[in-house]
């Protein structure tokens, strides 16, 4: 069974935290927030049988910067750069949420129009270019804007 199927839901974790006899027992057992972006991206590359160079070719990040993100040498990548990886790796909504969380970035929110467009595109399995078209058509900045 893969990691995404065995990972407990937030509500389950909250129940465990509230039932814990002390904070050390919960934190010691669960170690929340310890998964790095690099670890999670490597997990997804392996799970999906993807090759880093091919993934990076699908983005506008640039190989050096992209390898730094995936290897963990770039600790605080820009949100749009991480979202480019989301599209290049054909992540679903759960995977994209976990990726943004592992990067320490804000989650996609349906209350934000730009984010809502990105959520729609991820959910429909659209490419980054298709998403960029939708964003620009509605007056938003593309995930990659050369200007």
**C-alpha span between 75 and 14 (Å, rounded):** 28
Position 8 scores a pLDDT of 61
Q: What is the mean pLDDT of residues 11-23?
A: 80
26: exposed, middle or buried (Cβ count in 10 Å: 0-12, 13-18, 19+): middle
pLDDT band for position 1 (50/70/90)? very low
Residues 44/95, Cβ–Cβ less than 8 Å: yes
Domain ranges of the chain: 35-138
Q: What is the pTM of this model?
A: 0.78
The three-state (H, E, C) secondary structure of the chain, written as one string: CCHHHHCCCHHHHHHHHHHCCCHHHHHHHHCCCCCCHHHHHHHHHHHHCCCHHHHHHCCCCCHHHHHHHHHCCCCCCCHHHHHHHHHHCCCCHHHHHHHHHHCCCCCCCCCCHHHHHHHHHHHCCCCHHHHHHHHHHCCCCCCCCCC
Tell whether the model's pLDDT for residue 12 goes beyond 50.
yes
What pLDDT was estimated at residue 32? Answer: 53
pLDDT digits (tens, 9 = 90+) for 65-74: 999 999 999 8
Q: What is the mean pLDDT of the chain?
A: 86
Residue 45 has phi, psi (to 5 degrees) of -60, -45
Mean pLDDT of 83-106: 94
Residue 142 · residue 136 · CB < 8 Å: yes
Whether the pLDDT of residue 49 is over 50: the answer is yes
Does 75 score more than 60 pLDDT? yes
Residue 11, pLDDT > 60, answer yes
């Amino acid at each position: 069974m893969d990691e995404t199927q065995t990972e407990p839901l937030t509500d389950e974790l909250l129940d465990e935290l509230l039932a814990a006899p002390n904070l050390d027992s919960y934190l010691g057992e669960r170690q929340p927030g310890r998964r790095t972006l690099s670890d999670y991206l490597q997990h997804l590359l392996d799970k999906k049988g993807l090759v880093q160079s091919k993934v990076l070719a699908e983005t506008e990040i640039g190989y050096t910067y992209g390898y730094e993100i995936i290897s963990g040498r770039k600790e605080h990548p820009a949100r749009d750069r991480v979202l480019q990886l989301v599209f290049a790796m054909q992540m679903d909504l759960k995977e994209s949420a976990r990726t943004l969380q592992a990067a320490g970035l804000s989650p996609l929110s349906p209350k934000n129009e730009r984010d809502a467009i990105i959520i729609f595109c991820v959910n429909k399995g659209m490419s980054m270019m298709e998403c960029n078209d939708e964003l620009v058509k509605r007056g938003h900045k593309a995930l990659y804007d050369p200007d």
